[in-house]
Structures are given as structure tokens and as C-alpha cells.
Amino acid sequence: MPSVTIIGTGYVGLATGACFAHLGHDVVCVDIDERKIDSLSRGVVPIVEPGLDDLVTEGLDAGRLQFSIDVDGSAREAEIVFLCLPTPQADDGSADLSYVEAVVVQLRDVLRPGAILVNKSTVPVGTGRRVREQLGRSDVAVVSNPEFLRQGSAVRDFLHPSRVVVGGDDAAAVARVADLYSGVDAPILRMNTESAEALKYAANALLATKLTFINAMADICEAVGADIFQVAEGIGLDPRIGKDMLNAGPGWGGSCFPKDTRALVKIAEQGGYDFALLRGVIETNDQHYARIADKVTEVCGGSVEGLKVAAWGVTFKAGTDDLRDSPAIKILQMLHDAGARITAYDPTARGKYVAHPWMEIAPSAVAAVEGADVLAVLTEWPEFASVDPHEVRDVIGAPRVVDGRNVLDRERWRSAGFDYRGVGR
């Protein structure tokens, strides 16, 4: 089996390394954060991701997975080096490639002849060509292998993907990277580098468009007396559309969609095309945050000043502890700015929440609503659906709930005496 080095132990890098080790490859995951590497070497995973802890422990015990802070040494020994580095959004909306470029420069004189450098980070079209120029090494191939990992299901997505995409101009290098996935039952799409890079952005942009569309339809359904559940069920049965990503909610967020959609608008702009459709998707999504905040304000009589707002969920989706571009945080920030006091509960609540000092964290869902003037459900954690509304009714200050994820049983909560407001109903 070829030796693999993963540079970057963030969400993508750690999941990729652990899954490759599970498939039988010898993997070294590298990061400059010494504390994180020490923790991972002891099998302690710093992020919430179902199944990842078990895979890391399995890889360590089998001797197929190692963690190191030695970037140069680990890359020098590897046949295939994956770049799993952050590409955050720059001020102008484009992707910031400074982390990728810095590592490429560092590896220029380190990679052994015949090595393959694989970009797994989400990067603008043309980055592969740019990396080859920076390397200046005709004996090192550059390949694109974009990730399609959803937070909360990354292990399943890696081991049971809908497709594996490998792009490059060196057919032999593309084949070697594709062979890493030989234990995975999925079509492997081989293409040129630019197509692989564009495909990643296209997928995220289309998914974001689908979510924005169903949220806009939810607003229309409320206005005309329709039910978004019934509408979504009907259109989801059309095989041209499909039922996935048709759950109305408070808007999309997270570490990928916001930055990738804006980056694609910028990529299009640099290519001379005004991507007005995608700009509209982004603007509509931003407006939807405000609509949910307005819904909370409306149920409270037109103002939340001085009121206590209880929130269930602060992460951008269930199954993760990621707060990046979380719709819940954006909505709660709006309510706080309008004068509300915020108390929230989330199953992954940790010390990182001190980044939002205006938010008090409660130890349980019921504790969060004690004395509250309204409850807002903002993340679709399954445990919220099982909470007894009568137990909440006994401690809440005013029986009002805005279910921004449509996860609660509407009739059950109304029977318990709540003024229930969902989305698109």
C-alpha cells in the first residue's frame, strides 16, 4: 500500500486520514498545532463527528494511523501527499489560498521524485495549474480530489460516497490516487484538473440554491395558507428534483456553503460572467435569517426588548459542534441586538461559546426555557422532538414557540397550550 501523508488535521483532513487508514493504507496526519497532535495521538478527537473516534482508535491500534508535527519529514517519506488546508473567505468574497500556497512553497524541495501532491481543499478553478507552477517540479504530479463530506456524516460519506472525483493531467497519477479508493463501492470519475475544481463549487452552489428555494417557498406557503410539508413531499417525488435538501429551515450556513457560493460568484466574475442567479440565492438566504428573527419578534407582540429568548440549538446543523456561519447564531445575534436576553442549550455546548458572551448556556433543554418569554428551535437535534411540551409549559414564562426547523409535533405542542409557529405552515 502506498504511504499517505495528510497535511492538516481539521474536519476534512482528520476524516480523510482516519478513513484511508481504515481502508488499509499507512497514513500520517500532520499539523503544526502540537497540542492537537498530542491529543490525537492519544485517540482524543477534538471535534464532534459520529464514528470518527472509533476510526482514529482503530487506526492507532493497528499501527496504520500516526500523527505528527513534522511536516517536512512526513512529506519526504510519502508517495502521496494530501493538502487538507483551510481556504477561508477573503474580504472580496474570493477564496484565500495563503495556507495552501505557504505549504506548497515549504514542500517544493521536500517531496521525493515521483510523489503526487493532491489538493483536497476546496480551491478556485486554476489552483492546480498555479500549484504546479509554484512547485516547479516536473517529477511531481498535482492532482485534484475534492471532498464531498457532510458534517455529521463524514465517515459514512467517505466510505459510502455517491462518487469519487479525481482530476489531473497525468493519467498515471490520477490512476494511483483513484486506487486509494479501491475498497470503496462508488463510481470514480476521472477528469482534468479544472473540471474537478469546478465540480466541487458547482455541487455546493446547486445544493445551496435548492435549500434557498425551499425556504422561499416556505415563506410563500405561509402567506397563502399552504403547507410546506405537503408541497415538499409532492415535488420531492419528482425524480428530476428528489426529496433531499427540501426541508425548510432558518437558512443554510456552516463552513462550506457560505464561502463556496461567494467564491464561485467571484470566480465567475473573474471569468467575465455575472452570476446573478447565485448572487440572488445568497441574498435570499441572508434575508431568511431576518425572517426567522422577525417571526420570534412577532409572536412576542412586536418587540423582544427586555424579554428572555430561549434557544434550542446553536450549531449550524445537527450532528456537529461547528458554529461557523451558523444560522442560529446569526438569528440570535439579531434578537440580542433588538434587546433580548439569550439563553441557549445545545448538546455540544463547550468552552468555545465564550466567543458569544451575550449568550448564556443552559445545562439542558428544559433548563434553557425556565422563565423564558419565547422558545426558538434553531437546530434540528433529534432530542428536541422528544421533549415533553407539558414539562416545558410548567417552567416557561410564556407558552410561545417558534420552531425554525419544524422538528416539533405541532399538534402536540398546541394541545399543551403553546402558541406554536413553524416554518412554511
The whole-angstrom separation of Cα 64 and Cα 39 is 17
Residue 234 burial class via C-beta count within 10 angstroms: exposed 0-12, middle 13-18, buried 19 and up: exposed
The whole-angstrom separation of Cα 284 and Cα 41 is 44
Q: Under 8 Å CB-to-CB from 180, ≥6 apart: which residues?
A: 2, 4, 20, 23, 25, 80
Annotated catalytic residue: which of 19, 29, 221, 256? 256
Sign of CA dihedral 326, 329, 334, 335: positive
| Amino acid, res. 112 | R
Question: Closest Cα to residue 231, out of 210, 215, 251, 217?
Answer: 217
Cell of 216: 422561499
Q: Assess whether 256 carries a catalytic annotation.
A: yes
The whole-angstrom separation of Cα 272 and Cα 275 is 9
Cell of 384: 428536541
Sheet holding 65-68, edge to edge: 65-68, 26-30, 3-7, 80-83, 116-119, 141-144, 164-167, 188-191
341-345 and 359-361 beta bridge pairing: parallel
Cell of 322: 461547528
Catalytic residue IDs: 256
